[in-house]
Structure formats: structure tokens, C-alpha cells
Amino acid sequence: MTATVEGSTQVDQDGPKPMFGEPRGLWPQIGTYLFILIPFVALIAAVPFAWGWGLGWVDVGLAAFFYTFTCLGTTVGFHRYFTHGAFKAKRAVRVGLAISGSMSLQGPILHWVADHRRHHAFADRDGDPHSPWAFGTSPAALVKGFWHAHMGWIFDRKLTNAERFAPDMLADPDIRRIDKQFGMWTAVTMLAPPVLGGLLTWSWWGAVTAFFWASLVRVSFLHHVTWSTNSICHIVGNRPFKSRDKATNFWPLAILSMGEAWHNLHHADPTSARHGVQRGQIDISARLIWLFEKFGWVSEVRWPTPQRLAKLTK
């Protein structure tokens, strides 16, 4: 059980493989792009209107900083470290990653890890909390599935049982404490940008605009990037590696997701510290883990080996 939950035997322990062989229809593919692009274009279009009175360089700088900080807390911390054990970390690093991940407002750490381990244990099958294929493969089913995988599943009040999926996390008092402090970290991540924006511009208006861009927009933007891994990266993209689900590599999201969009490799080899393993596949999270390793902050990093990759390649 534990092995499956941690994903380490995902590849070797092949069960029956429901491979959905049908190619994706044109309309679902177009729909997927539109869902993502139109709201995003609207957001970008708002920028020139706001520039100079409701948006300035301080807001941009704060938004970029908090985006990067909380995104890496989620990808390196919540995902690669806590969920999959891609490396070992010293206590201070462990606590720091748990806090920065919590500040992305994707739920308390125990929920996040339990949900994500369940996703890997049942990927694109019954029991997966967020498979876009949950309702079938017709265009209508896929539109419904896209919504469900992207954000609909979050509103389900049934919570994944952390005692079953994350007993190792529950056993750690630091983690239990940070999990309970989720409300406090929510306040910190929402209030730190306006405090800094107010101080840097020495104005109340600077606090207001920083709150809008570096708190609200930044949190929402990272939500959508993260959720896109669950929705887009199980529908659209390439599948060069052997995973027993529908996970894909989707290059347009590689930078914004800090490497998480190389999702096909991730499902093929869940404990790997690097997801972007092919030539030119930028993986910022893997680079941070590499840096931490150089500083001696983390150890036993599971870097991919050529032999392992050869075994995983289709």
C-alpha cells in the first residue's frame, strides 16, 4: 500500500492498463485552449488600462516575488518533497518548504499531500480526485471533465483521508502544526504584499494596488497554473514516457509551472526530482533542488539516470 501511495512502484507494478486509444476530437482540443486563453488575455488586456494609476513596478515586483516563492514552495515542497519523497531535507528546510507551500493557498499541507498521493494511486481511474476523463471521452464529457479536473473537484466536501494517504506526514509534529496554522499563513500571504507595497511607495494607494496584484491576482494566477497540471496536462500534449494514465508533457506551461508541466515523465517516474529530463526541457524546480543540494540543505536527491530513462521511454 505505502509503496503505491508514494508512487515508487508506479512503473514496475503494472496492473491492468486501461489505455484510452481514441484520438482527441478537434472541438475538445479547441475548447481547452479557449478556456485557458480567453480569461488570460482578458487579464493581460487589463494591464495597460491600469498601468500608471492602479499598477506599477512595485506591484509587478511584489507579484513576481510572491508568485515565485509560493510556486516553488508548492512544486519543490508540497509536491516533489512531501508527496513523493524525491529528496531528504534538513528540518529548517522542511519547515520552510511547508510554510511557503501553504502560502500558495492550495489548502492545508495534509490535504494537499493526501489528495495528490490519491491522484497518483488512481491516476485517471476510479478514485482519482481530479481526472478530466472521469465522465467519459465524448466532447461533452470532456468539457465537464475539464472543469472537474481543473477546479470543480476542489468544491467536493468529501476530504481525502490523510490517515490512509499521509501517515508519515501526520506523524511529524512540525507538519501537524503548520497544517493547523493554515489560517495564519493565509493572512500572511494576503497581507504581506500590501504592507510591503504601502511601505515601499509610502502611500495607502500603494498598499491597495499591491493587495490587488500581488495578493489577489498572484494567488489566483498560481491556482490556475497549478490546476492546469491536473486538467491540461492530462489531456493535451505529448506522452513520450510509459505512464499508465493520460498524463502529458505540455511545454507552454513549463516556465510558469516551474517544471511541473513535464507531467508525463512525472507520472512515469513519480519520485524523480527532475521532471524536465529531455534536452531543452527547462525545470526551474529541479534547478532549485540542485542548488539546495550544493548548499548541503538537502540530500539523497533522486536524480534521473540514463538507464532509468531508457527503461521509461516508449
Annotate each residue in 246-285 with x if it binds Zn ion (CB under 5 A) or - if it does not, as one string. -x--------------------------------------
Contacts of 190 by beta carbon, 8 Å cutoff, 6+ apart: 211, 215, 219
Give least dist CB 241 to Zn ion, A. Answer: 13
Look up residue 146 and give its amino acid: F
CA distance 75 to 269: 16
Give least dist CB 123 to Zn ion, A. Answer: 6
Give least dist CB 132 to Zn ion, A. Answer: 10
DSSP letters spanning 104-157: T-SS-HHHHHHHHHHHHHTTTSTT-TT-TTTT-SSHHHHHHHHHHHHTGGGG--
Annotate each residue in 146-185 with x if it binds Zn ion (CB under 5 A) or - if it does not, as one string. ----------------------------------------
Using CB positions, name the residue nearest to Zn ion.
247
Q: Is the Cβ of residue 196 or residue 247 nearer to Zn ion in the bound state?
A: 247
Residues paired with 154 in a beta bridge:
none
Q: Is the Cβ of residue 123 or residue 175 nearer to Zn ion in the bound state?
A: 123
Q: Is the Cβ of residue 65 or residue 147 nearer to Zn ion in the bound state?
A: 147
Q: Is the Cβ of residue 232 or residue 247 nearer to Zn ion in the bound state?
A: 247
- Give kind and range of the element (H or E) at residue 161: none
Instruction: Tell me which residues in 229-248 interact with Zn ion (CB under 5 A).
Output: 247
Give least dist CB 216 to Zn ion, A. Answer: 27
- Total of residues contacting Zn ion (CB under 5 A): 1
Q: Is the Cβ of residue 17 or residue 91 nearer to Zn ion in the bound state?
A: 17
**Cell 512515469, located at residue:** 268
Give least dist CB 113 to Zn ion, A. Answer: 10
Q: Is the Cβ of residue 92 or residue 126 nearer to Zn ion in the bound state?
A: 126
Contacts of 30 by beta carbon, 8 Å cutoff, 6+ apart: none
CA distance 197 to 208: 8
Residue-wise over 269-297: b if at least 16 C-beta within 10 A, else e? bbbbbbbbbeeebebbbbbbbeebbeeeb
Nearest to 10 by CA among 307, 233, 266: 266
Give least dist CB 86 to Zn ion, A. Answer: 10
Residue 81 Cα to chain centre, angstroms: 12
Q: Is the Cβ of residue 188 or residue 224 nearer to Zn ion in the bound state?
A: 224
Give least dist CB 260 to Zn ion, A. Answer: 8
* Interface ranges with Zn ion (CB under 5 A): 247
